[in-house]
Amino acid sequence: MDLRKRALELIDEYIKNTNLKKHLLATENLMRHLARRFGENEEIWALAGLLHDLDWEITKETPEKHPLIAVEILEKEGFPQEVISAIKKHNHLQGLIPETNLEKALYTCEEITGLIVAVALVMPNKKLSEVTVERIISKFKEPSFAKGVNREIILKAEEMLGLKLEELAEIALKAMQEISDELGL
């Protein structure tokens, strides 16, 4: 079975919001690059990124169930256990402790994609190609900018994975620029 193909079908089935789909694609490619950085399985990491918010729209009214509904769906579908476990632990509100590199990476890194989208949108042509790492860092330090982005969680990448903010920003920017057409930025 082609798991990525099935993942995309599930996304079409459960997600209507285009920006959420783009967030999933951005996280997929970010996780692929992070897997490369840590010498881990790119396909597994990419799948975890792609599917992590699969139940976002279904759990809108019951946020305490995010991502437990996604976990149920993915278990039924037979996705690899590592993917499911990383997804299960990524919502820090669940209070679960990420243990593997994959779990730690999804937990700490996915929020930076939202910051990078916000930075792109304030550039003159609203393009990712105009964004720089310096710009991301300076906007990161401005708490009123893209307020919804949880800086505290992103900073945990350094203690959990030894990944400094600058390096994470560089990897994420590159990963997102690579798929800028799909992201429409």
Residue-wise burial string across 40-54, b where 16 or more C-beta atoms lie within 10 A, e elsewhere: beeebbbbbbbbbbb
DSSP element (H, E) containing 185: none
Binding residue for Fe ion, selected from 28, 35, 53, 183, defined by CB under 5 A: 53
10, 77 in Cβ contact below 8 A?
A: yes
Q: Out of 34, 54, 110, 136, which residue is the one contacting Fe ion (CB under 5 A)? A: 110
- When the beta carbons of 8 and 130 are compared against Fe ion, the nearer one is 8
Span from 7-15, 46-54, 98-106, 130-138 in contact with Fe ion (CB under 5 A): 46-54
Within 8 A by CB and 6+ apart from 92, the residues are: 107, 150, 153
Residue 179 tokens, joined: 């798929």
The least distance separating Fe ion from the CB of residue 162, rounded to whole angstroms, comes to 22
Q: Does 28 bind Fe ion (CB under 5 A)?
A: no
Q: Which stretch binds Fe ion (CB under 5 A): 91-99, 102-110, 121-129, 175-183?
A: 102-110
Instruction: Please tell me the count of residues contacting Fe ion according to CB under 5 A.
Output: 2
